[in-house]
Amino acid sequence: MGRRVFIYLLIFFLIMAGFRSKLKKSFLHIFKEVTTTSIQKRLGYPENTRLLIIHADDLGLSSSENEATFEAFEKGMVNSGSVMIPCNYVKQVAEYGKAHPLADIGIHLTLTNEWDTYKWGPVTSPDEVKSLVNSNGYFRPDKTGMVKAARSTDIEKELRAQIDSALRAGIDVTHLDSHMFVLFSGKVLRVCYRLAKEYKLPLLLTNDLPVRYTLPRNAIVVDNLYYARAKDYKAGIANYYRQSLRSMKPGLNCIIVHLAYDNDEMKNLTGSQTIYGSGWRQTDFDFFTSDECRRLIDDNNIKLVTWREIR
């Protein structure tokens, strides 16, 4: 207890003395570390527990995406997902959620549209959020271009509309994350954090964020975020997932996957694209519904948790 009091006093006098350097930020980070109860303890687990959310992105993208994810919820190890509200198959997700009230379904906040043949735009009228759209009224394909052009007021208007639309559809929203990690960009993150606080929802945050030290001390932060890249798919994506599960460390971990059947619908949607293409999504589905995946989780003493529990 004496050590903690000493740290409090030291930080107080440093701040009062006007330190405006990296040293000050480091001490603020230490302050948050020593005053924050771990997520393991907050969920009732021992400090050294490996907690894991296996999270399926892109619900609502297609019927194939939805049906594969629902099957993985029920028969596999996937225990969480998030829906893209501007896409065409949101109603199917809402119906599933009503039939499965304990399903862990969040909102995949969407401000970009990366596909060549499948276009979507804002839930809000494009005229009301002009900085978010191109001349055709669709979202821009790249995150960098979106962040550069978007106004914070338009970002908030659109993301609020997506949350409200999900709630009106009857989805019991458990958390917020973002398509193509757009919320990891400064001005988008600030909007997302305000909305998460207002709607009382956990937000996918990681220790990689440059603003980590500015977050409230009770913020839920994912300690390790896993997601396969193109090089992992080329080398055999199942190997990436095996290694991730075997080397997982204590704390809150999240593996992001993209599930769909490699059928005509997804082939037409993704075309010849390999990255997150139809074949990639089938491979994700195959691994996370396999007996091998279940054994790896059991053998490595990994405990599955959901954003619903964290909420």
At 127-178, the pLDDT tens digits run: 999 999 999 999 999 999 999 999 999 999 999 999 999 999 999 999 999 9
Give the pLDDT confidence of 294-306 residue by residue, as tens digits.
999 999 999 999 9
pTM across the whole model: 0.87
Cα separation, 42 vs 193, in Å, equals 21
282: enclosing H helix or E strand: helix 278-288
Give the pLDDT confidence of 60-87 residue by residue, as tens digits.
999 999 999 999 999 999 999 999 999 9
What one-character DSSP code corresponds to residue 140? P
Give the pLDDT confidence of 259-295 residue by residue, as tens digits.
999 999 999 999 888 899 999 999 999 999 999 999 9
- The vertex-43 CA angle with 38 and 47, nearest 5°, equals 45
Q: What is the pLDDT of residue 27?
A: 42
Q: What is the pLDDT of residue 273?
A: 87
Of 79, 104, 111, 103, nearest to 195 (Cα)? Answer: 111
Confidence of residue 206 (pLDDT cuts 50, 70, 90): confident
Strands (E), the chain: 50-59, 80-83, 105-109, 176-178, 224-226, 251-257, 302-304
pLDDT (average), residues 190-202: 94
- The vertex-109 CA angle with 227 and 63, nearest 5°, equals 75
Cα separation, 82 vs 70, in Å, equals 12
179: enclosing H helix or E strand: none
pLDDT exceeds 90 at position 186: no
